[in-house]
Amino acid sequence: MTGESFYLHQKLRDFDEFCENALNWDLDYRQLEAGNFSSELLMFGNESALFTHAKLERRLLQKGTAPQDLITFGVLADPGINIHWRNIDISDNKLFIFPPGGELFGITQADFDVFVISLPEPKLDQVCASFELPEFRKLVAGHEVFACEPQLLDSFRSRLRQREREITGHSVAINQQLLLQQLESELADYLIRLLAGRNQSVGRGLLRKRDLALKSAENYIHESANEVVTIPELCNASNASQRTLEYAFRERYGLTPKEYTLVYRLNNVRKQLRQAVPVKDQVSRIAQQHGFWHMGQFSASYRKLFAERPSDTLKQNYY
């Protein structure tokens, strides 16, 4: 174990603020449903081990990367939760492993509640050796999602909750370095046991025509950035019919293609407003840069999605 330990436990009501406070993560979230955002974030660790518990109460598009130089595991706090992660649907008793340096792309619902553990690979190799197993990378063989033995995963969840109570209940009094050492060894042991006793790895299914069309449409929207994208343009870019795209977007995001493009641009406006200097007409200038010309309609759409006025987002930069 090396480096200074840190402890963070906050309730956050802004998804960009959540991303900024997620130490060692590079995150970019987009809100997909209307309403106030709320979250709770617990992080405890140092540069070689990290214990995280995150709760998010809005449907989000999550993009970004996990901590560098560590192997990061995710376990849903409740097996009844469903997420779409890197083109795999995850629920029940599944353990997922973030690709080192790879892109995180997930769609999470308003009940998202996850434990995330980041550990050094040499420690995982050490535990593998003690169990007479192949080294970690050979054990997982490039797979990212594993269906685990339910009772063992439930035991792991219980232990994570117990450790969380110790961390939050005694954050000042505990010997943080000693607790981190215990956590690193204990959690590495649990995780290798889960992987060694897994029922099977979960691979990505073959992409349907609808999935391929959706991916092309998403890329076109993201690359167009500030421009207004029309449905005919999306159909042409994805080589798919409007009906196919309607089904694909509703299935993945719960939104029509038109609604998704609007939500995506509104999120882009919000991110720019949060970084801008509050001056006269700043809101209208930024809105127009993203293709919004009717300020009354823009403000109504913005307020409906984020439950705040664009001017309120801009004013936050004063503080």
pLDDT at 312: 93
Position 170 pLDDT exceeds 90 = no
Position 3 pLDDT exceeds 70 = no
Q: What dihedral do alpha carbons 13, 17, 18, 20 form, nearest 10°?
A: -170
Position 1 pLDDT exceeds 50 = no
> Which two structure tokens, joined as six digits, stand for 164?
């969380």
Give the three-class secondary structure for 76.
strand
Percent of the chain with pLDDT over 70: 94
Q: Tell me the pTM.
A: 0.90
Domains and CATH numbers, the chain: 6-202 (2.60.120.10), 220-234+256-318 (no CATH)
> Which two structure tokens, joined as six digits, stand for 141?
């063989």
The whole-number average pLDDT for the span 168-188 is: 79
Which tens digits make up the pLDDT trace of 201-246?
676 655 678 889 999 999 999 998 778 999 999 999 999 999 999 9
Q: Among 203, 190, 198, 247, which Cα is nearest to 88's?
A: 203
Instruction: Output Rg (C-alpha) for the chain, integer angstroms.
Output: 21
> Which two structure tokens, joined as six digits, stand for 78?
């409740």
Q: What dihedral do alpha carbons 124, 129, 130, 132 form, nearest 10°?
A: 130
Supply φ then ψ for residue 31, to 5 degrees: -80, 130
